Amino acid sequence: MAAHDVAACDAACKVCAGPWVWESRNELLSRVSNLKRDLQDWRFKLDNQVKSYRSELGDLRKTLNTEVSQLRNEFQVRAGHS
Q: 73 lies in which domain range?
A: 12-81
Say how many C-beta atoms besides its own lie within 10 A of residue 48's C-beta. 10
- Mind listing the pLDDT tens digit for each residue in 8-32? 666 665 556 667 777 898 999 999 9
- Mind listing the pLDDT tens digit for each residue in 43-66? 999 999 999 999 999 999 999 999
Number of domains within the chain: 1
